[in-house]
């Protein structure tokens, strides 16, 4: 799987989570303690998430890292 696929899968997960939970990008950014611009880049698939930040999202979502990257279904 290419880096781009991981970015796209993670972006799709974020978009769906934001929609399903009626959140704004800003609300999510505050919750995971990241700059809004960083979260926006993840949502727009413009940036590959770092391991450290991926762990922040996994903790917040109570989700497995492999699910966030699209390697396993949720």
DSSP string over the chain: --HHHHHHHHHHHHHHHHHHTT--HHHHHHHHT--HHHHHHHHTT-SPPPHHHHHHHHHHHT--HHHHTTSS--
Q: Model-level pTM greater than 0.95?
A: no
pLDDT on residue 26: 96
Q: Which residues of the chain have pLDDT under 70?
A: 1-4, 73-74
pLDDT on residue 31: 96
pLDDT on residue 41: 97
pLDDT on residue 60: 93
């Amino acid at each position: 799987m290419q880096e781009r696929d991981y970015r796209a899968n993670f972006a799709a997960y974020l978009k769906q989570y934001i929609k399903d939970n009626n959140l704004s990008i800003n609300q999510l950014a505050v919750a995971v303690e990241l700059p809004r611009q960083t979260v926006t880049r993840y949502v727009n698939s413009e940036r590959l998430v770092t391991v450290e930040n991926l762990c922040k999202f996994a903790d917040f979502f109570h989700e497995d890292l492999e699910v966030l990257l699209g390697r396993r279904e949720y």
